[in-house]
Structure 1
Amino acid sequence: MTLYVLRRLGAGLVLALLVTLITFLLLSPSFESVVRERLGPTATPETIAGMMTELGFDRPILVQYFDWLGGVFTGDFGRSLFTSQPVAPAVAARLGVTLSLVVTALLITVVISVALGVWAASRGGVADKISQILSLVGYIVPGLLLAIVLVVVLAVNLKLLPAGGFTPFSEDPARWAASIAMPVIVLVIGGVANMAAQVRGTMIDELRKDYVRTLRTRGVSTTSIVIRHALRNAAGPALTVLSLEFIQMLGGALIIENVFALPGYGQYAFNAALQGDIPIILGITAFGVILVVVVNLVTDVVNGWLNPKARIY
């Protein structure tokens, strides 16, 4: 098991290095234009060249990348070009807002998806049709459109929830729940559309296997077969879907946080991209890929624990 974990960790490290290197190479042609924007329209070529030298943008690209990478390993992700704020604490603070949103949405998605998928697979008939219709509706409805409708209906017309902003949980749990309610609804509807269908399909496959028929001939109750045996065996594939859903929700935060004015990871990334704040973009990319690697590693470890055969891959 230790070798399995080390192998997965090594693959994750290679992925992180490749993603950050590609991001750096893609950003490199814009270095001069970012300096021009920072200095303003009155900047002279000499001033621009001096700023390029001061920021180290005149050095070879790979030298700049490995210099940045060396700082990352010591916890220094650089400073914002426009505010001089250290990148690492700024991204970490905003990532906490995003994770509070995504983790809440993911937990609700798991509960609803497992209940809906198990119900559809074990009951069949009308229950299965209802499950498929709900999943289809979740696929069809665009998240951005749903977010706008929720703001108009729940915030503007009914005034049940705040239209935007964020309240930390430690400050006021009730207001925190109200501030993330609509974003969570948007993420949950899209998440359930993906995950419930996967749980349903996996459960149907499990319930058709020989061991289920054997248990039924021995008089084991349907509830026991579904919960104690089939659902447990279906947990491995469901965990993989869960990790993918987490990553998808993290990406969806880029749009959702801007719609609901949440000061999170997605909004910070959007604003940094508009400004061309290269250190922030690199920091956001690094934090994001590290988070993805950690989630995938945890998923692989749990899958390896549940299914020893998976450790050979």
Structure 2
Amino acid sequence: MARLITRRLLVSVGLVFAVSLATFLLQSAAPGDMARTILGDTYTPDAHERLRHQLGLDQHILVQYWHWLVNALSGDLGTSPISGLNVADEIASRLSVTSSLVICATLVTTIAGVALGVVSAVRGGRVGRAVDVLSLIGYALPSFWFALGMVTVFSVMVNLLPATGYVPLSSSPGEWFRSMILPVTTLALPGVALFAKQTRDAMLDVLSRDFVVALRANGVSERSIVFRHALRNASIPVVTLVGLTLVSLLSGTVFVESVFAMPGLGGLAVQATAQHDIRMIQGVVVVFTLVVVTANLVVDLVYGWLNPKVRVR
């Protein structure tokens, strides 16, 4: 297991470096720059060049990246020239919103999807067909339509849940929970359908194997077969799906935070991109990459625990 962790950590360091460099190069190649955004529509060429020099934008792109990397390795992500805000502080103030969305949506997706998949595989018949129908609905429904529909029903017509905004957990756990219901449901719906389908197929495959037949012949209870033996063997592809789902939910937060007016990292990334704020974009990308790397590392460890063969590869 130690070798597995070491290999994954080495790969993760290279991944963070590669993603940060690629982001820097792509953003620098985009039309426009920070100097024009700061000066506005009316500016003189001399003022534009002076500001570019002050910001270091006239240096070679790799030199700019090197300066940023040296500061980032010391924990300094810099200050946004456009907003004047400290990048690390701004990200920290918004991180709780995005992390709450991603963690809650991942939990809801995993628990609900696995439960539906297990019930469908064990019961079959109408239950199995119902899961198939729900899966198709989850895939087919556009997220924006589903989000707007829930806002219309639960916020406008019933006035039961808030349509927009975010309440910190430390301020009011109850209001935090209410503010998370609609955005988390919007994020989780497509994933629930995918998890249910994947879990059902994996469970059906495991339940048809010879060792399950032998367990039933030896009088082992059906509950023990399903939850102690079949579910553990079927959970290996599901665990991989958890990591992929968490990563996909990070990109989904950009849409959800915009619809429900939540001050998270997704909205910050969109705003920084529109303003060509390279320092803010770099900070957000690094945080997203670290989240992805951490999620993949946890998935690999769980995968190694479930499948010992992975530990020695």
Q: Could you say which TM-score interval applies, normalised by the shorter chain?
A: over 0.9
Q: Deviations over 1:63-96 (max 9, x none)?
A: 1112111111111112112111111121122121
Say which SS state the counterpart of residue 163 (structure 2) adopts.
Answer: coil
Q: Deviations over 1:95-138 (max 9, x none)?
A: 21111122112212222111111111112221111111111100
Q: After the TM superposition, which segments of 4 or more aligned residues of structure 1 sit over 4 Å from their partners? A: none
Distance across 2 between alignment mates of 1:32 and 1:51:
14
The CA RMSD measured in Å over matched residues stands at 1.4
How many residue pairs align between the two structures? Answer: 313
Q: Which residues of 2 match residues 10-29 of structure 1 at below 5 A? A: 10-29=10-29
Q: Deviations over 1:124-160 (max 9, x none)?
A: 2211111111111000001111111111121112211
Structure 1 unaligned segments of length 5 or more: list them. Answer: none
Match of 1:309 in 2: 309
Say which SS state the counterpart of residue 17 (structure 1) adopts.
Answer: helix
Instruction: Give the drift of 1:31.
Output: 7.6
Q: Is the 8 A contact 1:236 1:303 kept in 2?
A: yes
Match of 1:219 in 2: 219
Say which SS state the counterpart of residue 92 (structure 2) adopts.
Answer: helix
Match of 2:7 in 1: 7
The answer to whether structure 1 residue 111 and structure 2 residue 111 are counterparts is: yes
Distance across 2 between alignment mates of 1:132 and 1:42:
58
Match of 1:58 in 2: 58
Distance across 1 between alignment mates of 2:14 and 2:208:
40
Structure 2 unaligned segments of length 5 or more: list them. Answer: none
Letter in 2 for 1:18: A
Say which SS state the counterpart of residue 261 (structure 1) adopts.
Answer: coil
Q: Is the 8 A contact 1:79 1:279 kept in 2?
A: yes
Match of 1:73 in 2: 73
Instruction: Point out the more displaced range, 30-39 or 106-115.
Output: 30-39
Match of 1:181 in 2: 181
Letter in 2 for 1:216: R
Q: Deviations over 1:253-308 (max 9, x none)?
A: 00001000011111111222222221111111111011100100111012112212
Distance across 2 between alignment mates of 1:312 and 1:44:
63
Query: How high is the TM-score relative to the length of structure 1?
Result: 0.96
Distance across 2 between alignment mates of 1:32 and 1:257:
26
Q: Is the 8 A contact 1:165 1:261 kept in 2?
A: yes
Q: In percent, how many aligned pairs have the same letter?
A: 43
Letter in 2 for 1:192: V
Q: Is the 8 A contact 2:20 2:285 kept in 1?
A: yes
Instruction: Give the drift of 1:212.
Output: 0.5
Q: Is the 8 A contact 1:81 1:278 kept in 2?
A: no
Match of 2:255 in 1: 255
Match of 1:147 in 2: 147
Instruction: Give the drift of 1:32.
Output: 5.2
Instruction: Point out the more displaced range, 202-211 or 286-295.
Output: 202-211
Instruction: Give the drift of 1:235.
Output: 2.2
Say which SS state the counterpart of residue 33 (structure 2) adopts.
Answer: helix
Q: Is the 8 A contact 1:31 1:57 kept in 2?
A: no
Distance across 1 between alignment mates of 2:151 and 2:120:
32
